[in-house]
Amino acid sequence: MPDAGKSPVYSASEIGAVVLEFLTFLTTLHRDSAGLEMPPPGGWPSYTPENCAGLKSDLVIEVLRNLPYLRSFDSHEDSLGQIHYKSCLLDYTTFDSEILTESEYLWEYVSDGGDESVPDHVFIFSEGRESGGRTLFLDVLHGKVIEVEIRGGNEPIIQDIKEYFEELKKKYRNLELIPIPHMEMVELGAVGMHPGEPDEEVSKEEIMMQSDPDWDSDLDIQYTQQLYRAFGWPDNFRRVEAFRELRELIEARYAASE
């Protein structure tokens, strides 16, 4: 690509600050703050010149070496381990060239099915899985996030890194993205629903009257949003209490259907 000699839009420290702000924000919602890890002075130690030789641009290596990380204590199939819809951070804390590149075939969604390789100033930040999953590439030279939706049919989203993460935070605040313990993240657009608070509340009795034990109806999603807001979402979310109450109700309906 004709970018040789071009100055990056953001420095490595600026990119790290944007990522840290976003990951910290997630710890006020569905992610465990105990999992937030900062690189030691000098960066993650396995990013040595010998290990990194020829893999990516110097700026990518500098970003990766000093990028904060949010470790998951849950399954990759669990909302509580995800940062986006069916999407989990790559573990970049330990240098592993295979882990850092094994999913780069998803770049075909960006190159419109072509065989163009991933530029050396781009790396995968978060890996999506299955249909609809979001893979996030970070372009450190141009200061952008490229969001790829797996088998979703939508064009990749390419956006300034600061603007992208601000908009992603907004989707969480509006409960357009809804984490549910031990289940995949719910994305309103994927289920044909729209953000906004409904005029009428949903009762537990209405929830329990549904015959399908799966927690995926419009009523279920609306009740989840209602419950989270009652527990202080987004600014003062009492996560433990909210998740406990929600799981008890999900399990109760499942038991009632047997």
User: What pLDDT is recorded for position 2?
Assistant: 43
Looking at residue 115, its pLDDT comes to 64
Q: Which of 156, 31, 152 is nearest to 83 (CA)?
A: 31
Query: What distance in Å separates the CA atoms of residue 242 and residue 228, rounded to the nearest whole number?
Result: 6
pLDDT at 5: 64
The residue-averaged pLDDT of 28-54 equals 96
- Given a cut of 90, whether residue 200 has pLDDT beyond it is no
Helix (H) or strand (E) holding 25: helix 12-26
Cβ atoms of 35 and 72 closer than 8 Å: yes
pLDDT tens for 56-87 read 999 999 999 999 999 998 888 899 999 999 99
Q: Which of 16-30, 120-134, 193-207 has the lowest mean pLDDT?
A: 193-207
* The predicted structure's pLDDT at residue 75: 83
Please, where are the H alpha helices in 76-203? 97-101, 161-173
User: Is 30 in contact with 79 (CB distance < 8 Å)?
Assistant: yes
Q: What is the pLDDT of residues 95-113, one digit of tens each?
A: 999 999 999 998 988 877 6
What's the pLDDT at 4?
56
